[in-house]
Chain A
């Protein structure tokens, strides 16, 4: 039953705006357009006729109030005719509120230079805080590992299962496929020169030294790093971390150190698995594409690949693990008291830890080359 309507009635001595039915935020804009089209400046007196108005909401009331003010500024006299008690109360309510109402100031616009400055300063602060976090970890918190009774074996075991054992499948599969792809791509080139057997040297060196540690680190950063951030962030929002602290449980001891330790222990193992699977992948392609039998492959492998290459790859594991866990946990602790920041910090955690792993890998690369390893 939409019986609401609006009419402008021109009389000799002025105008009448006749509202009928309801004036609410749903039909307000339609009436406003009509009123805006009307020329009021010549009118001496305007009557706002609300006699047949049955319902007025606060938006409508604000609108009428503004209209009245505007007309009065133009020099017309305005009269509101109203008999309905509710409508009258609503008008009165707005009128009395208007007296004390403060306008909401528009948000000040900021210029781009200020924004750039703020952003760079924040980035700088972020770095400083991360360093402070690492510093605290080393000076205060790693002592939890010194005394035997402070080590949380149960938590460490739990984390090892969560972030390593359960990740074995995906790491094995990814590594196998990477081995297949690398071997397949290089087989074509090697065949051109008839240097088929050198695929063993190539695969052995690249996979053991670089590819396996990196792939493992990237998968773990995406899988466990994000989980750490989200978990700790959620705990922060629900004030669980505060609760732990007030009960005298240091969250570092219960959450942070076990996660870091678990990841540092399991990362070399994961890299080892990744090594095996990637080499198997390469071996399959060598067998099918280059006609190098498994025996030939392993003989050659034994001959040309020194154990040190394997060790170099494995050694990187704990370092990568530390970076991933530390960044993920740090980002989790940075989560603010709103749901959006969990997503934001999780993204940041993954991106930053992969970046950190690659930087760390580059440093290792330079160091090992200069050391002649």
Chain B
């Protein structure tokens, strides 16, 4: 199996508190991979560790063939261009309009002409389902769902191979949430992305994910596809997925 991200024995400690004891998981190429678990189990922390926003205290994480421990500055920068991250609330830059938000990585990292950038931005805006006339709105003028779509367009600006989503459907109404789910699947199929996401939304989990890792009690208690989820005896899995059991 060709894996894009590999975590081996990752340990995280906050002050005295151990968040992850030893996390092992691997994300296969081209999959939509979900990190699930009860709240406070450190899902978002794990995601932040993968995108180098946070230090981990043991083990190793390998992303796109780079080991994150002691990574050189040059490799880190290359890695940062090779992935896209969508934050929970979009985290669009509030002083820039949507067009400039999406164009920012292109302007900074490439020598493309203004006209070319405009076309790329128009393409990204179109593909995430925003309208062209939204391009000059500022983040404070748009709804939460649009912010997420714009955040996604920005994450896709550099055509990354790998996309991280932090609770992509939280705070969206069910219709927008389902729309967003199908958008994620569509993008994976169109652009051949590998997607890693943290989610709490059961519908979204069943509709989008091919692989899941369930974290509980500082360990991965289950990794694999959703069909065999009940093969593991675990309090969280029983309660969380019981709604979907027939």
Residues of A within 8 A of B (CB): 24-26, 28-29, 32, 57-59, 62-63, 66, 86, 89, 93-94, 97, 100-105, 107, 336-340
Contact = CB atoms under 8 A, between A and B. Distances in A.
Contact of B190 (A24, A93, A101): A93
B123 A104 contact: no
A77 B226 CA distance: 51
Contact of B123 (A58, A105, A339, A340): A58
A58 B192 CA distance: 12
Given A29-B111, A86-B192, A340-B94, A97 B132 contact: no
Contact of B116 (A26, A62, A101, A104): A62
Contacts of A93: 190-191
Contacts of B123: 58, 62, 94, 97, 101
A108 to B, nearest CB: 10
15 contacts: A25-B106, A25-B110, A28-B112, A29-B111, A59-B159, A62-B116, A62-B123, A66-B119, A97-B123, A101-B122, A101-B123, A102-B126, A104-B99, A107-B136, A338-B95
Interface residues of B, number: 32
Interface string B184-211: 0000001110000000000000000000
A109 to B, nearest CB: 13
A102 B122 contact: yes
A103 B122 contact: yes
A102 B132 contact: yes
Contacts of A86: 192
B interface majority secondary structure: helix
Interface in B109-147: 110-113, 116, 118-127, 131-133, 135-136, 138-140
Contacts of B125: 104
Contacts of B138: 338
Given A104-B132, A337-B94, A339-B94, 20 more contacts: A25-B106, A25-B159, A26-B110, A28-B110, A28-B112, A28-B116, A29-B110, A29-B111, A29-B112, A57-B159, A58-B159, A59-B110, A62-B116, A62-B119, A102-B126, A104-B118, A105-B133, A338-B138, A339-B95, A340-B95
Residue of B95, B123, B132, B192 with most partner-chain A CB within 10 A: B123
